[in-house]
């Protein structure tokens, strides 16, 4: 008998209970029971606060998708090191505690709480009397990170707006050390357009840029960022292109505001060789701006995937996405795409099985092309050739295999990743949690961990919702 | 976070976290040592699914949920919307399971009420789920009020189980059976150790005449197993004689078999043989052992639902395949597995999932644990058989099935107006046998997420209906 053989009907009156866990009451902050419940095809997280009653938030648009995603293989990858003693249930003893289920794959290092924008959608807290992390402190935090993890594929330097840091380049140089594969820098892009020397320096240091890009409409820009910064964004893109800086477009998708701009981001990803990946992050209604932004309409991962299918005229389908094996399926979906010189994207799922792809993605965000993946791709190549596949695809694959597995002595994993980037682009769909969608089972599987001080790695949503507020540097302050 | 929270990091392996542990989901469980409700997570550890708990006082403990991750993953997809009871005894949710009984947030109605009528028992089993519950036997008035509550909440009940203690030790046992004989209640089942059967043929006859089913606790014939599970050797022979006596007197039986690792797995073939051969044995319930009270910090060496599935298939002489078993979607799908056997009029048995397509079969079983216990359900079965007959496909035991179908059509369409609830139930039990697996939870694998969908409830004298595993572990 097949799994999911009982096809739940679309009737919204049909309620299917799926599971229970713990979450947060938005009203009182108490740790309360939450439940996953399907009404018809839609899956909600229901919060049951004995003091403040029931509240629900959409976490998946389609029950069949949810059941399939939840049955996906989970990468067994507990943290290498955890805090010696656990003092409280999740999320109140994070660091990570011995209950944490996932290694840190994306360490996040905020270096300043200064920002030159006051975005109504911001989930952080910026200060008018800013803090700039001294490079010595940054170095100490890196020491801790490397001791805790034994080395990472990539790190993410963020803020506030990190390009406002007067010693940014010193900090970036400190981050270039053994054990750290790739340095990514978050930015709103204002500095890139206004200070040409900055981009040149970043290019020279081999920094990857994560550019926030939420809209190219002027009025929407004011709604989302409190100012019309469309020209700044265009200048930032031009600068990144000019310096060929490998770039991730970080797009915050806000219900009722910018959903119709999806085709622009897909076009950027396909057409521009400097754009290596696209991360669609759904709006999270928490923090300085976000908690009062409305109306609150959380968009689940699968809904975003469906929007991408629509915006790409089904060139990229929902079925071309899979849960990131190192995260919770409600937090991250991913699609890897072969990219050709002509500006087309070909989903990897058409050539390799999701199990084969998951095998390469077991160690985090970047594919780890191993000798096994070489074999799998060669088999796929043979199959495609015998099936009479398009010559374009065959050429991309052949070129890629030659670049990844050159004749002669084997190259290391970081070299392979860099080689693969020319051929493989990535779309991540990432749903942060806010108070309405928070569930400890997701937090326990979080691979994005904030280096909070010299002793704690805290999952990103635990940081945003619980640890950020009392943090002397990155919290709300007095 | 204050400076006091700062602690060094240590290698996670040094705390007993395996490098192969994959975190699946979070829930609430019980500390193996003290039984207090604590945070828990389900993890996959190679092929097994393990519940890991953390207690502020006793640290980490763990219990086995499933020895077969693929079974558990598949089971999670067996969904069936909960049925709303007509009334709920608890008006307000104040936290699960604090306000249990059923509160407005409980996700299933009462499918099988387990009515404890006396705490007295003439045995002292080491593995008793309900020992040390001191409470006087129910007065008849209390029974009536509980039955009223059940009828008010459910309308009608397909089955009611009288249990204890040993229910036949209640001084007014038969009167209670009579009180249960009301139009809203279908079959009364008496959960018993059966030690009285040899000495009290009158009671067997009395139960037979009232249409009650004797649900006999029977763990096989092996004397070592009986000693270990029930504290008495030679129990097997006694039970054998009791079974023979009930059959000879024309009574109806179902068997409840507690399955314990390295203890009585080898007894399953004999028990299945009884089920298959004896017309009056309606069903077999296999319960992987659950042990109340404190458990070792690591409690993984035990049997779970998928183990019972493979043991049953291996022990059935080819009648049952592993693929015949499916999770029961109306309860929590991790709690039950089951299959049904159609009795052929020509003799012999054939499993329903082997002759019906998956969708038809799942539609049949999704509504209740007892196939063929309402009119609609029997008609579905008849229709399914009819389709089978009219299709060109290969059909095993074609003649036997055809005869069975003809008889079902005749019985259902018998002149004289619609059948009563009880007549339909009787028709169902005459045509279908069932094999159930029910894994009660104990401290080591108690998962609050499963309790929320429990349909096996103990009615209380104060009007509450307590899910079995809440009652057994927390009450």
For A398-435, the pLDDT digits (tens) are 888 888 888 888 888 778 888 888 889 999 999 999 99
> Residue B26's closest chain A neighbor by CA?
A441
Partner residue facing A78 (CB), from B6, B10, B12: B12
Q: pLDDT, tens digit, for every residue of A9-41?
A: 557 778 999 999 999 999 999 999 999 999 999
Within 8 A of A82 by CB-CB distance, chain B residues are 9-10, 12, 15, 17
Contact: B26, A441; criterion CB under 8 Å = yes
How many interface pairs between A and B have CB atoms less than 8 angstroms apart? 167
The tokens of B373 are what? 């216990």
Within 8 A of B449 by CB-CB distance, chain A residues are 19-21
Whole-number Å distance between alpha carbons of B454 and B444: 18
Q: Which string of DSSP letters, residue by residue, matches A333-349?
A: EEEEEEE-TTS-EEEGG
Whole-number Å distance between alpha carbons of A70 and A179: 32
Contact: A71, B11; criterion CB under 8 Å = no
- DSSP category for residue B293: S
**More confident call, B103 vs A129:** B103
Closest CA to A74 of A456, A367, A444: A444
B314–chain A nearest CA distance, Å: 19
Confidence check: pLDDT of A2 > 50: no
Q: What angle is formed at CA B113 by the lines to CA B108 and CA B119, rounded to 5 degrees?
A: 135
The tokens of B169 are what? 């030790």
Within 8 A of B452 by CB-CB distance, chain A residues are 17, 20, 35
Contact: A16, B80; criterion CB under 8 Å = yes
The number of residues in chain B equals 475
Cβ-contact B161, B180 below 8 angstroms: no
B177–chain A nearest CA distance, Å: 35
Cβ-contact A460, A445 below 8 angstroms: no
Residue with tokens 């096809």: A7
Bridge partners of residue B42, in order along the sequence: B25, B51
Whole-number Å distance between alpha carbons of B17 and B23: 11
Neighbours of A64 (CB within 10 A): 15
Closest CA to A274 of A313, A327, A305, A236: A236
Partner residue facing B22 (CB), from A3, A75, A100: A75
Q: pLDDT, tens digit, for every residue of A226-260?
A: 999 999 999 999 999 999 999 999 999 999 999 99
| Residue among B6, B9, B16, B17 with most chain A CBs within 10 A, to mutate | B9
Cβ-contact A252, A293 below 8 angstroms: no
Strands A322-323 and A332-339: antiparallel
Contact: B12, A4; criterion CB under 8 Å = no
Contact: B9, A455; criterion CB under 8 Å = yes
Whole-number Å distance between alpha carbons of B173 and B119: 13
Within 8 A of B20 by CB-CB distance, chain A residues are 76
Residue with tokens 């999932």: B353
Partner residue facing B74 (CB), from A3, A63, A93: A3
B107–chain A nearest CA distance, Å: 7
Bridge partners of residue A338, in order along the sequence: A346, A424
Confidence check: pLDDT of A370 > 80: no
Cβ-contact A277, A156 below 8 angstroms: no
Within 8 A of B353 by CB-CB distance, chain A residues are 1
Within 8 A of A81 by CB-CB distance, chain B residues are 9-12
> Residue A463's closest chain B neighbor by CA?
B1
Confidence check: pLDDT of A320 > 90: yes
Determine the CATH number of domain A106-339+424-431. 3.20.20.70
| Residue B132: per-residue pLDDT | 66
> Residue B83's closest chain A neighbor by CA?
A15
Q: pLDDT, tens digit, for every residue of A141-197?
A: 999 999 999 999 999 999 999 999 999 999 999 999 999 999 999 999 999 999 989
The tokens of B73 are what? 């993953």
Residue with tokens 């820098």: A185
Contact: A22, B56; criterion CB under 8 Å = no
> Residue B358's closest chain A neighbor by CA?
A1
B20–chain A nearest CA distance, Å: 5
Contact: A35, B452; criterion CB under 8 Å = yes
Q: Which string of DSSP letters, residue by residue, matches A108-129?
A: EEE-B---S---TT--S---SS
> Residue A79's closest chain B neighbor by CA?
B12
Q: What angle is formed at CA B342 by the lines to CA B337 and CA B345, rounded to 5 degrees?
A: 165
The tokens of A349 are what? 């799922």
Partner residue facing A444 (CB), from B18, B26, B362: B26
Q: What is the pTM of this model?
A: 0.93
Bridge partners of residue A369, in order along the sequence: none
Q: Is B418 left (phi over 0), alpha (psi -120 to 50) or beta?
A: beta
> Residue A471's closest chain B neighbor by CA?
B1
Return the SS3 of B199: coil
Partner residue facing B12 (CB), from A80, A89, A471: A80
Q: Tell me the average confidence (pLDDT) per consecutive run of 10 residues in chain B, 475 residues long.
A: 58 78 96 97 95 95 96 90 89 92 93 93 91 83 96 91 95 97 92 97 97 96 95 93 97 97 97 95 96 95 98 97 89 92 84 79 63 62 64 56 71 64 71 92 97 95 95 91
Within 8 A of B12 by CB-CB distance, chain A residues are 78-82, 98
Write out the H or E segment, with its range, that includes residue A15.
Answer: strand A15-24
- For the purposes of burial, counting CB atoms within 10 Å of the CB of B52, is it exposed (0-12), middle (13-18) or buried (19 or more)? buried
**More confident call, A342 vs B189:** B189
Contact: B26, A1; criterion CB under 8 Å = no
Taking each helix axis from N to C end, the angle separating B223-230 and B235-248, rounded to the nearest 10 degrees, works out to 100
The number of helix segments (H) and strand segments (E) in chain B equals 15, 18
Contact: A5, B358; criterion CB under 8 Å = yes
Contact: B81, A16; criterion CB under 8 Å = yes
Within 8 A of A67 by CB-CB distance, chain B residues are 76-77, 79
Within 8 A of A331 by CB-CB distance, chain B residues are none
Whole-number Å distance between alpha carbons of A295 and A299: 12
Write out the H or E segment, with its range, that includes residue B350.
Answer: strand B349-351
Contact: B329, A74; criterion CB under 8 Å = no
The tokens of A371 are what? 């000798």
Whole-number Å distance between alpha carbons of A468 and A462: 8
A61–chain B nearest CA distance, Å: 17
Partner residue facing A467 (CB), from B1, B22, B95: B1
Partner residue facing A76 (CB), from B15, B20, B82: B20
The number of helix segments (H) and strand segments (E) in chain A equals 16, 17
A195–chain B nearest CA distance, Å: 38
A233–chain B nearest CA distance, Å: 37
The tokens of A224 are what? 């989302």
Contact: B54, A76; criterion CB under 8 Å = no
Domains of chain A by residue range: 1-71, 106-339+424-431
A350–chain B nearest CA distance, Å: 25
| Residue B368: per-residue pLDDT | 53
Cβ-contact A101, B54 below 8 angstroms: no
Phi and psi for B341 in degrees, rounded to 5? -120, 130
The tokens of A52 are what? 């403040």
Strands B336-343 and A448-451: unpaired
| Residue among A20, A59, A73, A81 with most chain B CBs within 10 A, to mutate | A20
Whole-number Å distance between alpha carbons of A400 and A340: 11
Whole-number Å distance between alpha carbons of B402 and B388: 9
């Amino acid at each position: 008998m097949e799994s999911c053989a009982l096809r739940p009907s679309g009737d919204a009156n049909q309620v299917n209970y799926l599971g229970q866990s713990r979450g947060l009451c938005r009203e009182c902050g108490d740790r309360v029971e939450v439940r996953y419940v399907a009404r018809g095809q839609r899956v909600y997280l229901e919060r049951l606060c004995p003091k403040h009653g029931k509240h629900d938030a959409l976490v998946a648009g389609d029950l069949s998708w949810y059941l399939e995603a939840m049955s996906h293989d989970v990468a067994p990858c507990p943290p290498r090191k955890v805090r010696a003693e656990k003092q409280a249930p999740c999320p109140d003893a994070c660091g990570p505690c011995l209950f944490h289920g996932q290694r840190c794959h994306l360490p996040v290092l905020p270096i300043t709480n200064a920002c030159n924008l006051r975005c109504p959608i911001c989930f952080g807290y910026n200060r008018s009397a800013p803090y700039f992390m001294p490079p010595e402190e940054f170095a100490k935090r890196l020491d801790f990170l490397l001791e805790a993890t034994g080395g990472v594929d990539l790190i993410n330097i963020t803020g506030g707006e990190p390009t406002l840091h007067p010693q940014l380049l010193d900090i970036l140089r400190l981050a270039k050390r053994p054990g750290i594969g790739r340095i990514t820098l978050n930015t709103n892009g204002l500095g890139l357009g206004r200070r040409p020397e900055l981009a040149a320096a970043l290019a020279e240091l081999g920094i990857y840029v994560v550019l926030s890009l939420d809209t190219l409409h002027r009025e929407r820009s004011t709604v989302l960022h409190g100012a019309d910064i469309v020209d700044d964004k265009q200048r930032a893109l031009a600068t990144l292109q000019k310096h060929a800086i490998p770039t991730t477009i970080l797009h915050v998708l806000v219900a009722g505001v910018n959903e119709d701009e999806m085709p622009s981001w897909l076009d950027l990803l396909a057409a521009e060789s400097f754009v290596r990946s696209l991360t669609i992050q759904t709006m999270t209604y928490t923090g300085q701006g976000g908690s009062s932004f409305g109306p609150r309409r959380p968009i689940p991962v699968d809904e975003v995937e469906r929007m991408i299918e629509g915006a790409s005229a089904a060139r990229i389908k929902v079925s071309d996405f899979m849960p990131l094996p190192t995260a919770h399926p409600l937090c991250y979906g991913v699609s890897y795409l072969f990219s050709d010189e002509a500006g087309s994207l070909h989903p990897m799922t058409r050539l390799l099985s999701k199990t084969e792809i998951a095998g390469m993605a077991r160690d985090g965000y970047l594919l780890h092309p191993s000798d096994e993946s070489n074999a799998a791709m060669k088999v796929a190549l043979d199959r495609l050739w015998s099936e009479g596949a398009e010559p374009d695809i065959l050429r991309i694959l052949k070129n890629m295999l030659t670049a990844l597995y050159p004749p002669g002595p084997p190259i290391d994993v970081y070299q392979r990743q860099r080689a693969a980037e020319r051929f493989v682009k990535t779309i991540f769909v990432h749903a942060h949690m806010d108070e309405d969608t928070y569930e400890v089972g997701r937090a326990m599987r979080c691979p994005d961990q904030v280096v909070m001080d010299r002793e704690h790695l805290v999952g990103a949503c635990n940081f945003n919702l619980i640890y950020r507020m009392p943090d002397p540097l990155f919290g709300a302050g007095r | 976070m204050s400076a006091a929270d700062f602690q060094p990091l240590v290698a996670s392996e040094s705390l007993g976290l395996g490098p192969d542990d994959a975190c699946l989901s979070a829930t609430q469980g019980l500390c193996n040592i003290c039984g207090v409700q604590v945070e828990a997570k389900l993890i996959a550890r190679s092929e097994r699914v393990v519940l890991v708990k953390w207690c502020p006082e006793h640290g980490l403990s763990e219990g086995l949920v499933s020895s077969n991750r693929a079974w558990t993953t598949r089971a999670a997809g067996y969904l069936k919307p909960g049925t709303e009871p007509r009334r709920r005894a608890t008006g307000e949710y104040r936290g699960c399971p604090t306000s249990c009984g059923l509160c407005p947030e409980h996700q299933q109605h009462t499918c099988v009420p387990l009515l404890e009528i006396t705490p007295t028992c003439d045995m002292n089993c080491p593995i008793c789920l309900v020992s040390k519950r001191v409470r006087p036997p129910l007065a008849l008035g209390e029974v009536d009020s509980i039955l009223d509550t059940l009828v008010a909440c459910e309308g009608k009940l397909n089955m009611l189980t009288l249990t204890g203690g040993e229910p036949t030790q209640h001084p007014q046992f038969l009167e209670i059976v009579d009180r249960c004989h009301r139009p809203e209640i279908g079959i009364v089942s008496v959960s018993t150790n059966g030690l009285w059967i040899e000495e009290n043929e009158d009671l067997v006859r009395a139960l037979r005449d009232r249409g009650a089913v004797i649900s006999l606790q029977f763990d096989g014939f092996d004397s070592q197993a009986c000693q270990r599970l029930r504290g008495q050797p030679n129990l097997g022979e006694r039970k054998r004689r009791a079974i023979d006596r009930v059959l000879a007197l024309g009574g109806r039986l179902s068997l409840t078999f507690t399955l314990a690792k390295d203890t009585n797995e080898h007894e399953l073939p004999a028990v299945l043989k009884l089920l298959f051969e004896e017309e009056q044995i309606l069903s077999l319930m296999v319960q992987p052992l659950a042990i109340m009270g404190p458990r070792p910090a690591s409690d993984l060496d035990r049997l779970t639902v998928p183990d019972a599935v493979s043991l049953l298939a291996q022990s059935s002489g080819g009648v049952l395949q592993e693929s015949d078993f499916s999770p029961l979607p109306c309860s929590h799908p991790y709690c039950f597995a089951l299959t049904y056997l159609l009795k052929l009029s020509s003799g012999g048995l054939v499993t329903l999932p082997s002759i019906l397509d998956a969708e038809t079969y799942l539609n049949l079983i999704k509504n209740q644990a007892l196939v063929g216990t309402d009119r609609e359900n029997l008609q579905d079965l008849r229709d399914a058989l009819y389709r089978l007959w009219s299709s060109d496909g290969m059909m095993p035991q074609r003649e036997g099935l055809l005869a069975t179908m003809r008889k079902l059509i005749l019985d259902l369409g018998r002149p004289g107006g619609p059948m009563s609830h009880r007549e339909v139930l009787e028709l169902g039990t005459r045509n279908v046998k069932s094999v159930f697996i029910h894994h009660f939870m104990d401290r080591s694998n108690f998962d609050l997420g499963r309790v929320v969908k429990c349909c096996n409830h103990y009615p209380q004298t104060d009007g509450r209906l307590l899910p079995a595993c809440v009652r057994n572990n927390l009450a």
